[in-house]
Structure 1
Amino acid sequence: MDTGQMIADTIERLVAERGTNPRAVALAAGMSPTGVRDIITRKTKNPTFANLQKIAEVLGVEVTEIIGGTSAERPPIAIAGKVGAGAQVPVFDAYEKGDGPQVECPPGIPPHGVVAVEVEGDSMEPVYSAGDLLFYTRNGHDSVPSDVIGHRCVCEDADGMGWVKQVKAGDEPGLFHLISLNPGANTMWNVKLNWAARVRLHWPADLARKK
């Protein structure tokens, strides 16, 4: 049984045990009326950790009960280092390989080929805060795929500095604008990037379980 099905079955069981229904749980969790039902029926195959946390609170359990033993069965993800959100950080050499901290693999994320980095700085407030973890997968060692344009990305510039920014096309081919979401932070114009990868998952600092 895959992780998504185990989560769906656990939520369905907990809802039934409490004598309620998926719609009532979804509304109490601040989700759409069909949000919980969509998870149970697998229409939503990869529910976010934030939604699972809200569902757990409504059902009166720890979120670990919903994700079950899956995290223990899956290898943890290494935290590669820090990524700048306003601060200049040479992120990717922060730790010797294998020596850095690790975080348990979130539900819905494959444990292989995924990297985590920790946010430093406040240029992406209020979306990403210092200490939050971002998970991403690089499609190539030296590439900026077209599908990252317009999205929030982890990226490395030509000077080896790591950033989390919204990436937009620059004024010339091969150059990119790195947009800050915080109105008080500076946007970086026409930057050359070694690579960029879209953020797949954001885990707030107080939810991440570091090892």
Structure 2
Amino acid sequence: MQHKDIWRGLDQLAARHGLSASGLAKRAGLDPTSFNPSKREGPDGRPRWPTTESLARVLEAVGAGFDDFAALVEGRRGGCAPLIGFAQAGQDGFFDNAGFPVGAGWADVRFPGLGTETVYALQISGDSMEPAYRSGDRIIAAPGAPVKAGDRVVAKTAQGEVMAKVLARKTARLIELASLNPDYPSREFKPSEIAWLARILWASQ
């Protein structure tokens, strides 16, 4: 990650929110000249880097996460995923048999570049995944991605229940799904009782 990449990321973050570099600095409560081109090099021509404090304040001011900023710095385009809440997700008609989103009712949410995966977003409800995920957080899930013990997953049962859990065990006879919140017990299913599992790739908190 080079000096010019960090500044390019800041410029692109500003443009995404309809701001100049000066406007971005001002929104974050910084000196409006903090990100001006003249401040990016010292009098001797050596590069100046933005401080971690200024980066943190900028990200907070525009409601962006560090992953999102890193995507801009690295030149990853990011994209949009269809978004739906867990309460709706449990209803019929929102997923096909492989766990891909179908039908109407989906909104869109932006996320950092994650490669070529086909993904969708779900908005967490409830507290069974605290402290990792809290109600209102958005998670990006990839149906069809390989899953292994220890992965955080979205699971849909044959009865239509959708949940975010940790895959504790998966054998020919048993699928055990654990909650990160110790107040909630693990749940065990026969493989035939699980319609699909989708690995969680990313979360917006």
CA distance in 1, matches of 2:90, 2:5: 37
Match of 2:126 among 121, 137, 141: 121
Structure 1 position 76 matched with structure 2 position 80: yes
Letter in 1 for 2:154: V
Structure 1 segments of 4+ aligned residues over 6 angstroms from their partners = 12-16
Letter in 1 for 2:203: H
Partner residue in 1 for 2:177: 178
Letter in 1 for 2:114: I
Partner residue in 2 for 1:194: 195
Mapping for residues 27-42 of structure 1, pairs under 5 Å: 28=53
CA distance in 2, matches of 1:60, 1:122: 24
Letter in 1 for 2:132: V
CA distance in 1, matches of 2:87, 2:148: 17
Instruction: Return the index of the structure with the highest Cα Rg.
Output: 2
State the secondary structure of the residue aligned to 2:150: coil
Structure of greater relative contact order (alpha carbons < 8 Å, 6+ residues apart): 1
Gaps (5+ residues) in structure 1? Answer: 1-5, 30-54, 205-211
Deviation at 1:157, TM superposition (A): 2.0
Letter in 1 for 2:158: A
CA distance in 2, matches of 1:197, 1:191: 17
Cα 1:139–1:11, aligned 2, differ >3 Å: closer, same or farther? Answer: same
Q: Is the 8 A contact 1:80 1:91 kept in 2?
A: no
Q: Is the 8 A contact 1:80 1:92 kept in 2?
A: no
CA distance in 1, matches of 2:59, 2:138: 26
Match of 2:109 among 104, 108, 112: 104
Q: Provide TM-score, normalisation by structure 1.
A: 0.57
Match of 1:10 among 8, 24, 29: 8
Deviation at 1:93, TM superposition (A): 3.4
Q: Is the 8 A contact 2:78 2:112 kept in 1?
A: no
- RMSD value over aligned CA atoms? 4.1
Partner residue in 1 for 2:98: none
Cα 1:75–1:152, aligned 2, differ >3 Å: closer, same or farther? Answer: closer
Cα 1:117–1:93, aligned 2, differ >3 Å: closer, same or farther? Answer: farther
CA distance in 1, matches of 2:118, 2:111: 13
1:91-111 deviation digits (Å, cap 9, x = unpaired): 563599453242332122358
Q: Is the 8 A contact 1:136 1:201 kept in 2?
A: yes
Q: Is the 8 A contact 2:81 2:111 kept in 1?
A: no
Partner residue in 1 for 2:62: 62
Structure 1 position 131 matched with structure 2 position 159: no
Q: Percent identity?
A: 23
CA distance in 2, matches of 1:103, 1:60: 21
Gaps (5+ residues) in structure 2? Answer: 12-20, 22-33, 41-47, 96-100
